[in-house]
Chain A
Amino acid sequence: MASSDPAFDLPALRARDDAAWTTFQQAWFRRIYFYVKRHVADHQTAEDLAQEVFLGALRGIDGYDPAYTPEQFLFGIARNRVVDHLRRQRSARVAPAAGGDPDASSAWIDVVADADATRPDAAVVQDEDEARRRRAMAEILRAFVGELWEAGEFDRLMVLEYLFVLGGRNKDAAARFGIADEKHVAGIKFRAIEQLRGMARQRDPNHSLFRGLWGPGAR
């Protein structure tokens, strides 16, 4: 996915051009700051971490994978910096976030740890097959969700995000979204998985990405 973001001139950024970095950082600093600030106790720590994100971007720009958007690149680095910070906090037995539940922050570390292993700036060093599979999965999910957006099926999208991202159970989804029968939720999930499976097959003509789709007994 080539970026069309005017604030992201990749050749100029890689050439360490002052103007390109100024434009890039000015376009994104506030969002990165507020992202970080959600997880740390004070302004100064958020400022320090946000600053580290852009220094990390500078170090990682040569390995930037254009399959990712600039915001995925930056938010990936930001997530990593926050996780590192919270781990240091946890090991030092210091409360992680003002007004927040310390256990919630710890849980958040555990939740993002897996995702963090695939952050864009680490893509260059991870297993290429896994990177390709994740990239394909992102394209599939994006296309799938894009169809729901275009069709205005926001209630269905909400149920699926609840099931797939939050790991909610069918029974809980039925109660949460006022669906009379949990079998109906199971149907929504089943149809979504069937559609995703079909899209995955289309993107895997060589049977090399999602091998489980092609093996004996696969539906």
Chain B
Amino acid sequence: MRDETDGDPKLAASVAAVWRQARVSCPHPDLLSSWLQGGVDGAAARFLAFHLGESDCPACNAVVEDLRARDDCAGRPEVDAAGVRALRSTLTALRSQRG
């Protein structure tokens, strides 16, 4: 941070990368849940819409998609089934590592 980010493209890139990677502006999933239910308004709602839309935060969008899927009547059973298969795979790898 030796100068304005405008003057140092490498620094600007690292600030952007760290901001995204460390999820410094990502809201808590509970707030995203409230927002989905219409419980957030004003500037906070504008920020959440920006963060999910224009800023296109991949991690928060994943949280929102998960919350929406859970609210669906169907609940996306194929995802739960995938989770079961993936867990089986992890447990097999675990046992293999333990010998």
Q: Which residues of A contact B (CB under 8 A)?
A: 16, 18, 21-22, 25-26, 29-35, 37-39, 43, 46-47, 50-51, 54-55, 58, 71-72, 75-76, 79, 114-115, 118-119, 134, 137-138, 141-142, 144-145, 152-155, 157-158, 161-162, 164-167, 189-190, 193, 196-197, 200, 210-213, 215, 218
B59 to chain A, nearest CB (A): 5
Q: How many inter-chain contacts with C-beta < 8 Å in the A-B complex?
A: 177
Chain B residue, CB-CB nearest to A119: B21
Chain A residue, CB-CB nearest to B91: A18
A71 touches B23 (CB 8 A): yes
CB < 8 Å neighbour of A25 from B3, B43, B61, B83: B83
A127 to chain B, nearest CB (A): 13
A137 touches B15 (CB 8 A): yes
A193 touches B66 (CB 8 A): no
A167 touches B16 (CB 8 A): yes
How large, as a class, is the contact surface on chain B? 35 or more
B97 touches A193 (CB 8 A): no
A158–B63 Cα gap in the complex (Å)? Answer: 20
B74 interface hit (Cβ, 8 Å): no
B41-89 CB contacts (< 8 Å) to partner A: 42-44, 46-47, 50-51, 54-55, 58-59, 61-63, 65-66, 69-70, 78-80, 82-83, 85-87, 89
- Chain B: interface secondary structure? helix
Q: With A138-B24, A155-B47, A210-B1 known to touch, is A51 a contact of B19 (CB < 8 Å)?
A: no
Q: With A26-B83, A71-B23, A167-B12 known to touch, is A152 a contact of B62 (CB < 8 Å)?
A: no
B20 to chain A, nearest CB (A): 6
CB < 8 Å neighbour of B91 from A21, A30, A144: A21
Specify which chain B residues have a CB less than 8 angstroms from the CB of A76 in the assembled complex: 21
A22 touches B14 (CB 8 A): no
Known A35-B61, A165-B19; 17 more pairs at CB < 8 Å:
A22-B91, A25-B86, A29-B82, A29-B83, A30-B69, A30-B70, A31-B63, A37-B62, A71-B23, A75-B59, A134-B14, A153-B43, A154-B44, A158-B47, A164-B19, A165-B25, A211-B2
